[in-house]
Structure 1
Amino acid sequence: MSREKVKKLKPGRLKKREGRVGYLFVLPWIIGTLLFVIYPLIQSFQYAFYKIKMTPKGRILTPVALKNYLDIWQRDVEFPTALTGYAINTLLAVPVIVVFALIIALLLNSKIRWKGLFRLVFFLPVIIASGPVMGQLAEQGAASIPAMNVTMIYQVLDQYLPGMLAQSITDLFSNMIMILWYSGVQILIFLAAVQKIDTSLYEAAKIDGSSLWEEFWKITLPTIKPMLLLNAVYTVIFLSNNEQNEIIVLIQSAMFDVSRGYGYASAMAWMYAIIVTILVAVVAVLFIVKKDIYEKKAKSFRKMQKRQERALKKTRRKGERYERKNRNKNASLQ
């Protein structure tokens, strides 16, 4: 019987083969991204510099340079106002949603009965209250608090705050139910982060006589700080892509308007994308995780240790060279 030779692959070849197989698995996603994300982005960026007219024979593109962008700020009345209102509403809504999600996550992590049912109750609106369902709820007034006198709140705030800020805070109160409905994903993220905290830290804190308030500020909050940034950025992006967003409605209406068309709508979309990017950067700066003072000291101590080790190795090498030189010198003299 002849023995079959087993081919042994070198580690480098095996790694390359596994890499090629991995690319094959990712290839459908890459093709979909190129066709349905990258190509439309490039096309919309080009459309923003044209006046596009739809005819039975096809599209007629007329170059207008920056006219679409200039018309947004010089002639359009609704879009700049909507952008300002969106920016203020987002900066007000993000802290409310993040804080509410953190509170609910801490409550769901406590020792209560029916925790699974409560998690389902808070996450279920994210699944069912989307798209047309949310539109119908908003039209019927189910997404706002009926007993709240919005006009009275606006009159009180208007006496002490600018009109735009007072209106944004009033909208925040009137749409409180809708805002809290969209906090299910953030609650799950915080809940997963809280459950990963080592329970021995809380046990040691209780032995030292710390209260729940101290445990939250000294153990819980520092541990889940990265999730604060994640939830804040996620909330900004979610609010920006919401179908009930006034700016998205304006862009869609401009796209099918004969006097404005696809080119003007593309310019509006790119201006909106720039504003969203700026808001994400602002929120990231506000929620950025700052290094703890003890972590900074530990890092500087490790750097100092590495410098000392390098200096010690350098001194040892000099000593070895000096001893080798003396041995060679003595050997030559003998």
Structure 2
Amino acid sequence: MSSPRRKRKELLMYRWKRYGVGYLFVLPWLLGFLSFMAYPIAASLYMSFHDVRVGGGQFRMTWKGWANYHYAFVKDNVFPVELILYMQEMLLIIPIIVIFALLISLFLNQEFPLRFLYRGIFFLPVIFATGQVLTELFSQGAGELPFMKQYNLENLVQQYIGPQFADPVLSVLSRTIIILWYSGVQIIIFLAGLQSISRSVYEAVWIDGASPWDSFWKITLPNMVPFISLCTIYTIVELFTFPLNPVIRHIRTNMFAVETGYGYSNALAWIYFVFILLLLGLTMLVFRRIVNLREGKR
């Protein structure tokens, strides 16, 4: 009978063989994080509990405890409203991007002439749509749908949806064109997932008389669940660092304000980070539950 020490060693060897390659891929990122990101993040958290003033070429900090966080929800009339409205917008935008990317990837996975050219066209906005380009496009009204004013959609949305949800819906519609530009990476991920499904599986169900609609729901979609999860998480991170994000703009404004300064802006950033982290955790939990149900686990 093997000793507990030997069992632990065998368990470590088993885990290394199973996850070792993944650990090696993560190692460069981990080293970079510890070298360049760990200290600034810790300093930001430390500043969020202080009143930070800049003078004489250095930071002067006065301990405030939770006062900055209390001020954000009790006295700041802008931050909670912008945070809630932007969260509502993201909950509408994220499914749009993921579903659009999945549909386009299904199309681009088909056999047709010049397929590589169309794949490149859908990925081009990822290269050109940088922060400054997006800012300029929005300032020129390029992101709006032209028929919104023509058919008076704003009044229709407010009438049938209600004033509470009209603002986020109208904001999503006004950004539809540029939102769809943010689907390039997701399309590539979905294409990789579709090509990982063996064609022999489709041929087998077609011989049994299954239609393309049946094969999509029984084969394609279940096998794409991990990739849908990955694209959803990627989209959440991407949109919450959107260059025209009003929450980030409010944090940046308070950073240079005399009344608030670095301490309060860091507190706002950490509140915003916690909200994003909770949304990411909920997303991972939901998709993990779906995968477990698919595999017959409880």
What's the TM-score once normalised by structure 2's chain length? 0.85
Residue aligning to 2:280? 280
Q: Supply the distance in 2 between the matched residues of 1:204 and 1:96 (Cα, whole angstroms).
A: 32
Pair 166,45 (structure 1): closer, same or farther in 2 beyond 3 Å: same
Q: Which runs of 5+ in 1 are unaligned?
A: 1-22, 301-334
Q: Supply the distance in 1 between the matched residues of 2:225 and 2:25 (Cα, whole angstroms).
A: 34
Residue aligning to 2:149? 149
| Contact in 1 for aligned 2:255/2:262 (Cα 8 Å) | yes
Amino acid at match of 1:69: Y
Amino acid at match of 2:280: V
Deviations, residues 211-268 of structure 1 (Å, cap 9, x unaligned) = 1111100111111111111111110011011212111111111111111100000000
Amino acid at match of 2:251: I
The SS at the match of 1:36 is: helix
| Contact in 1 for aligned 2:225/2:291 (Cα 8 Å) | no
| Contact in 2 for aligned 1:90/1:239 (Cα 8 Å) | yes
Residue aligning to 1:60? 60
Amino acid at match of 1:261: G
Q: CA deviation at 1:198?
A: 0.7
Pair 111,159 (structure 1): closer, same or farther in 2 beyond 3 Å: same
Moved more, 51-60 or 221-230: 51-60
Q: Which has the larger radius of gyration?
A: 1
Deviations, residues 45-99 of structure 1 (Å, cap 9, x unaligned) = 1101111111135222111111111111111111111110111111111111110
Amino acid at match of 1:233: I
The SS at the match of 1:258 is: coil
Residue aligning to 1:9? none
| Contact in 2 for aligned 1:150/1:174 (Cα 8 Å) | no
Residue aligning to 2:16? none
Q: CA deviation at 1:151?
A: 9.1
Amino acid at match of 2:63: P
Amino acid at match of 1:78: V
The SS at the match of 1:148 is: helix
| Contact in 2 for aligned 1:85/1:164 (Cα 8 Å) | no
| Contact in 1 for aligned 2:145/2:177 (Cα 8 Å) | yes
Residue aligning to 1:169? 169
The SS at the match of 1:52 is: strand
Residue aligning to 2:134? 134
Aligned residue runs from structure 1 range 4-153, under 5 A = 30-149=30-149, 152-153=152-153
What's the TM-score once normalised by structure 1's chain length? 0.77
Residue aligning to 1:290? 290
- Alignment RMSD: 2.4
Residue aligning to 2:191? 191
The SS at the match of 1:259 is: coil
Residue aligning to 2:212? 212
Pair 114,32 (structure 1): closer, same or farther in 2 beyond 3 Å: same
| Contact in 2 for aligned 1:154/1:167 (Cα 8 Å) | no
Q: Which runs of 5+ in 2 are unaligned?
A: 1-22
Query: Percentage identity across aligned positions?
Result: 40
Residue aligning to 1:242? 242
Q: Supply the distance in 1 between the matched residues of 2:85 and 2:40 (Cα, whole angstroms).
A: 28
Residue aligning to 2:200? 200
Amino acid at match of 1:133: V
